[in-house]
């Protein structure tokens, strides 16, 4: 529901133009009588400009459709598109790294190492561990390499040795710009236990997971060096406790074998609102089309099965969409992307020549329902790869070239209009005249009916209900294209009772009944340059002069 605030008498009557979703009100050089050759002489009277606006083809189409995806050919012929992303999944959807991955290691000295430390004043011990990336995803996967887009590695340790030294952390299979991770952290004993915590950003690091340690695992080596200080001699329970964690990891790249698994694809629908009206009539499209556009930037082959693909709505029985001419058995294979930053593309185009899409659209079905399943690496182990933004994407486009006809297609809009400042003025109006002048370079005839309703939506009165064309079609050639505009003039007289109904109303209801050229007996085409120019003015005859009206 659209709401307009009315701040003056002239603005009040501007509502009549706003009902038609027109914009632009011009008061300069307004002459009511120039809108038509004949003259009207009322005394006393006031003339108001209401609307001067040019409504183009896109705006007119949007009265019945809010999709607003348009395409134009070289001649500016219009095609409306309903687009739905049926499926889209990135590598980080397939492989989800855990929020936190952790390795715990405790390092202490053996009895011989304690003897060595006591005798030599220094000792070195090592611990070899490993980190297995706990991927949440398909089983049987073996990644060769993984690069990080973001994340943090934290190395924390606590030493209760009463001596200083250092802890070396080596990860030969985790590299930054080709250099393996190797860091040494001091243990500075100052009379109490030593605690150290270091955060290392993971961005740019790569892990080589094909290193012989097992699936998706990298080695981590710790080397502890202690130097004799003034503290007590170490015992077997003296130790360095290490907590080594990886947090908030996101992959920028991965390759290897991603596994053989099924994709989880939720059923969904593509809406077709433009081909139906709640209030009657129809639009007929001569050449509707359905396009399936499949893009794969992941280096993995996928088998797709269209388990369900049917149309519903409009009071019609559920009807399967016939894809058999292009997709055998409702199954097809999406090839793997040939290289990183490249994509494999598949496209299926269904028209009236190879499917039943024309019947689906023109029988006013409301939705196209789909339920799709997919299998990755259906032929077993293969080399796969993907980057952060690599995705498998399936898009359905219902394309509606505006070539066809409309048959009493009706649209009703409701507008809330408060009449607060015009009540005294309305009592002084004896009669009124709406003058509507249209110049149409558009291939439709338009019947408009305007109803006044109270707060409970009870109808109080109406105008424009005699079936006269307010908008007449432009002249159309044999190809259905408008080649010249048509001018139409209409006067609607409002008596005192109707004026009072107007001001007593809370809502204006507009019913627009649109029928294409020649009473829908031929196909027409819409082009970007098609438009309707509308001028609306109001003349009112007053019972008294404006200067005699209080508070005017």
Domain ranges for the chain? 2-70+406-548, 80-92+260-401, 96-257
Of residues 88 and 181, which shows the higher confidence score?
A: 181
Question: Taking the CA of residue 65 as centre, how many other CA atoms within 13 Å lie in the half-sphere pointing to its CB?
Answer: 22
Beta bridge partners of 41: none
* 76: confidence class by pLDDT, cuts 50, 70, 90: very high
Strand, helix or coil for residue 49: strand
Which residues, other chains included, contact 384 with Cβ-Cβ below 8 Å and sequence gap of 6+?
255, 256, 257, 258, 298, 299, 300, 336, 377
pTM assigned to the model:
0.70
What is the per-residue pLDDT across 349-400, written as a single tens digit (0 to 9) for each? 999 999 999 999 888 888 889 898 889 999 989 999 999 889 999 898 889 8
Provide the CATH topology of domain 96-257.
Jelly Rolls (2.60.120)
**N-terminal to C-terminal alpha carbon distance within the chain:** 31
pLDDT at residue number 546 = 52
Q: What is the mean pLDDT of residues 470-494?
A: 89
pLDDT at residue number 20 = 36
Beta bridge partners of 81: 399
2.60.120, 3.60.90, 3.40.50, 3.30.450: CATH of 80-92+260-401: 2.60.120
Do 80-92+260-401 and 96-257 share a fold?
A: yes
Question: Among 4-8, 184-188, 203-207, which is the least confidently predicted range?
Answer: 4-8
Which residues, other chains included, contact 426 with Cβ-Cβ below 8 Å and sequence gap of 6+?
419, 499, 500, 502, 503
CB atoms within 10 A of CB 232: 10
């Amino acid at each position: 529901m659209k709401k307009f605030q009315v701040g003056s008498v002239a603005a009040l009557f501007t509502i009549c133009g706003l009902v038609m979703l027109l914009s632009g009100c011009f008061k300069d050089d307004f002459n009511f009588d120039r809108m038509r050759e004949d003259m009207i002489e009322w005394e006393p009277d006031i003339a108001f400009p209401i609307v001067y606006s040019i409504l183009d083809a896109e705006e007119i189409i949007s009265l019945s459709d809010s999709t607003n995806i348009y395409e134009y050919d070289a001649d500016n012929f219009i095609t409306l598109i309903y687009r739905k992303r049926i499926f889209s999944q990135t590598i980080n959807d397939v492989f989800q790294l855990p929020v936190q991955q952790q390795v715990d290691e405790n390092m202490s000295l053996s009895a011989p190492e304690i003897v060595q430390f006591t005798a030599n004043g220094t000792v070195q011990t090592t611990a070899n561990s490993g980190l297995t990336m706990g991927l949440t995803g398909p089983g049987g996967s073996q990644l060769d390499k993984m690069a990080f887009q973001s994340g943090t590695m934290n190395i924390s340790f606590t030493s209760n040795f009463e001596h200083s030294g250092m802890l070396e952390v080596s990860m030969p299979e985790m590299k930054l710009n080709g250099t393996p991770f190797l860091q040494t952290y001091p243990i500075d004993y100052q009379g109490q236990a030593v605690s150290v915590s270091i955060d290392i950003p993971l961005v740019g690091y790569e892990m080589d997971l094909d290193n012989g340690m097992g699936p998706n695992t990298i080695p981590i080596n710790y080397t502890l060096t202690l130097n004799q200080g003034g503290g007590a001699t170490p015992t077997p329970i003296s130790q360095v406790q290490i907590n080594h964690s990886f947090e908030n990891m996101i992959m920028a790249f991965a390759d290897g074998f991603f596994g053989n698994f099924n994709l989880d694809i939720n059923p969904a629908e593509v809406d077709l609102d433009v081909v139906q009206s709640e209030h009657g009539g129809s639009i007929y499209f001569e050449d509707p089309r359905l396009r399936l556009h499949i893009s794969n930037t992941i280096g993995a082959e996928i088998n797709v099965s269209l388990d369900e693909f049917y149309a519903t709505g409009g009071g019609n029985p559920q009807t399967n969409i016939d894809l058999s001419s292009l997709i055998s058995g409702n199954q097809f294979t999406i090839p793997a992307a040939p290289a990183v930053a490249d994509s494999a593309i598949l496209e299926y185009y269904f028209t009236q020549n190879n499917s039943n899409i024309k019947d689906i659209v023109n029988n006013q079905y409301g939705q196209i329902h789909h339920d799709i399943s997919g299998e990755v690496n259906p032929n077993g182990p293969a080399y796969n790869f993907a980057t952060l933004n690599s995705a498998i994407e399936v898009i359905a486009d219902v394309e509606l070239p505006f070539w066809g006809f409309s048959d009493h297609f009706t649209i009703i809009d409701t507008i809330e209009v408060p009449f607060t400042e015009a009540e005294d003025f309305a009592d002084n109006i004896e009669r009124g005249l709406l003058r509507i002048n249209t110049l149409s370079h558009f291939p439709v005839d338009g019947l408009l009916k305007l109803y006044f309703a109270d707060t409970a939506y009870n109808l109080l009165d109406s105008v424009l209900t005699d079936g006269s064309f307010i908008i007449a079609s432009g002249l159309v050639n044999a190809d259905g294209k408008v080649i010249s505009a048509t001018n139409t003039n209409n006067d609607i007289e409002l008596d005192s009772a109707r004026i009072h109904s107007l001001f007593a109303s809370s809502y204006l209801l507009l019913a627009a009944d649109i029928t294409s050229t020649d009473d829908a007996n031929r196909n027409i085409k819409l082009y970007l340059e098609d438009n309707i120019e509308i001028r609306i003015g109001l003349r009112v005859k007053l019972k008294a002069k404006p200067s005699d009206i209080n508070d005017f």
